[in-house]
Structure formats: structure tokens, C-alpha cells
Structure 1
Amino acid sequence: MSSTVNVFVVSPDTRSERRFDLHITVQQLKNKLELITGIPVPNQSISVHNAENDSNILAVLEDENRALGFYGMQDGQVLKVTDLNPSTSFTGQLSDVSQVEKFELSEEAYAQRRGTFVLLNLLESILHGMRTDTVLAYKQRHKIGRFADNEESASTPVPEVNISIGSRCEVETSEEGFHKRGTVRFVGPTKFAKSGTWVGVEYDEPIGKNDGSVQGERYFTCRQNFGVFVRPDRLKIGDFPVEEINFDDEEI
């Protein structure tokens, strides 16, 4: 009989597949789940299900001194981690807006402020038009920066990057022994940067920053926190196998 079990870990902000030793206690499991889900150990409520959409609870891991194998868990089952106090959790603070004070303006106050902004913008435009010794005027005369001709900007060559979509890769990291591996999903210019080529990578683990979209523009599709964009010089292309990240130095 196998001493490990492969299960899906699901929380309000994460979803991943993990392998756990059946001999670890519920307390040790919670310590690992805090690194995976971001939910502090005291706030965790863990229930076992046959499927993610199955509301039937097979077991609740309440006894922190019991071994995981005591609950008869099987491969493919789901551990649902509920946050009992999201206001104190990092991920909960990002998604819970109930505590955020709403800022509102009356229509009269909004109209007054809008009129003030319009007047200030008009005065600024007049002053810039009158003065010829400003940096802005210098840039306008010599067509520098945003005042440059479109044809000149369009003629600037974009360096060619020889990276193929679907290539396995490893992203540069300063942490020794930590490999950020994934698959290339996008290569090209982006709207969030004025120039240059960016490489979109789908990580093997949820250590990214997005789901393949930035500032409302989608460049590729992956699960949330699995996507990242990097410059080509931070990337190594090669036969990098999928390597499961060990979030705990403890060996069981």
C-alpha cells in the first residue's frame, strides 16, 4: 500500500495538485497548507471531498494529532481549505472589500471639483503656450520624446528574439536551489511596455503574477498566479523537466 496520496488542494484564492505523506499529522499538513494557500494555521478548516464541486463532506480534519492516513484519504480526492477569519489573512485582505470605506461625492461636489480641474488644465495650457524657455517647449521645437514624428518612431527596429512558443524554459532567480520553470506561451511586444520584446511564461507552479493578461490586455491564457512576463535575457531555453517545488524543508 502506498504511503503517499495525490490530492487537489482548493482554497478561496488557490487551486493546485499536491502529494502528501499519509504519516504526517493534521498539524503538519496545516503548516504546509499555509505556504500553499496563504491561510494561517489557526484559521484553517479542512474538509475532504470526492470532487471539487461535490458538497458531500467525507471527513473534517479536526484532530491535529491524528495522522493523515487515519481519515482514509485516496488519490484524486479534494482538500477544501476554508478561511475562518479572512480579515486577518493576506489573501483575504486582497479579496475582501467589505472593510474598505467607500468614497462618495455628491453630484454638486463632483461638478465643483470637475470645474476646478478643467480651469487648472486650461491655465496650464495657456502658460505652456506663452513660455518658450521651458523643457516642454524645447522638446516641442526639437521633436523629442512624445513630440517625435511617428515615422521616426516606427522606423526604430525591434531586436529579433529567437524563442519558440511551447519551449520549456527556466527563469533567472537569485535564490539558490530554487528553479522557476515553465513553458513559453507568448513572445513579442506588449502594451504595458513602450518598447522591446517580452516573453510570457506559464509556470509549473503558482509562483507567477497573473493569468496571462496585464492591465486588461490578454496575451495568453493560464491559471491565476501561474503567468509571468520577463525580458528574454532573464530566460534560459532547454529541456527542463517539471520539478515540483518543495515548500517545506522537512523530510517525512
Structure 2
Amino acid sequence: MVKVTVISPLCSVTKEWNVNITLNEMCKKLQALTGVSPSDMKLTFEFEDGKPLKVLEHPSLDPDLCPLKSISHGTRIVVQDTNQNSMANQLQSSGGGDPSFKLSEETYAQRKDSILNWKIQNRWGRFDPETKARQENDRKLQQQRVNQLEVGERCSVCTNSQPERRGYLRYIGKISDINNLDIWCGIEFDCAVGKNDGTLNGKVYFGPVEAKHGGFVKPCNVETGAQFVPLKEENESDEEL
């Protein structure tokens, strides 16, 4: 997972996405967040690890590209709408893009010319019944796994993007900087295979531990038990001491 900050005239939000997400999948997420059609997008990637800027004028023409692959730090994606007649541009020109112009959440929710209302009408993102059902089912599965875990025990972590990693389960709970719904597991890894030291945005959730020995993963990727002893290094052998 990599932290991504999405910026557009009507949107500023931080998400965590899989580094193997394709451009096609990313554009769908970006459209749900910004209201900009993929065919109208101009994307500028600003990488925190020093990689040069990457600009994609027509992202829909290269759907299988994985722009976040090999990124070890976060990135900013600036989304520009090249269609001057789009709804997002019309909202911006009517005052929605003025940073000094702010509405209360209640007032904004009542507007009919807002991105929020557009998402509701078009059933995008969290307003899509199927998406909402999948999210609710996923949270039930995560809670079921949490009931089988014990903080302080040895653990194994298996995700699609990484080989098995082992360590100790140090934290179970929510992370307010991500959202107030999902439950996460904080892991102290045996080796430097994590992404943090048990802290996130300055808040300590466990530890702190050594740099890159900490990480946060979903409960369904974690299993605890005394059998998960430290993994041997590739060059270790039972025939050598």
C-alpha cells in the first residue's frame, strides 16, 4: 500500500492504494473523488521519493499501466479537467473552487449543483449499493478475524503484494487518519520489511519500534500463534551453526 493525496479544484483527500493498481482502476477511483471523467483527465504525479514528475494527458489510453509500482513513499496526484464544459469546471467557475469559499457540511449536502449530489445521483463510490454492500461485508469479515487474534502474540502476515512476513501483533484498532470505520492491525516485524516505526502522521499506535519494522495491515491478512517463529534468512541452513 502507498499513501496517495488526490488534489483537484473541488477535492483534496488522502487515500491508501495498492501499488499494483492499474491506471484504469485508478481513474475510476479518481472520478468518484473528483467528478472528472477519465477521458478528460490530465494527471500529474508528484512523487515524494524524488522521482521526476510524471504527466499523463490521456490516461484512458494506457489502462494497464501501474503508475504507483516501485514507489516506496507517498505521492500527490493533481487531477486537471481538460473539458471546459464539464460539470466539475462549471462548479468551479460558480464558486466551488474558490479556497476562501467554504460551506458547512449540512449546507453543502443540501446543494443540488455539488459533486456530492452528482455522486448520489450517479451512485458513485460509497453511494453505489454494490460498493457499500462489499464494504460492509469486508468489515464483517475483518471483525470476525479480529475475534481470533491476540495482541502480543507472534503472527504471520500474508498479503497479495508481499511474501510472508512475521513478527508480533502489537495493535488492533481504528486509525483516525484513515477513517473511523475500518479496523487495522499494527505489526512489529522481525526484519525491516515494514513502512513505519509504529507511528502514523506523528501519532504513536504502538512502539515506537525500529525504522521500517512497523506496519499496519487489515486483520484478514494476519494470523497469530506460537508456531510463527522468525523466518530463516535465505542463506541460513539447519546444517550450519
TM-score bucket of the superposed structures, by smaller chain: 0.3 to 0.5
TM, length-normalised to structure 2: 0.39
TM, length-normalised to structure 1: 0.38
Which has the greater radius of gyration?
Answer: 1
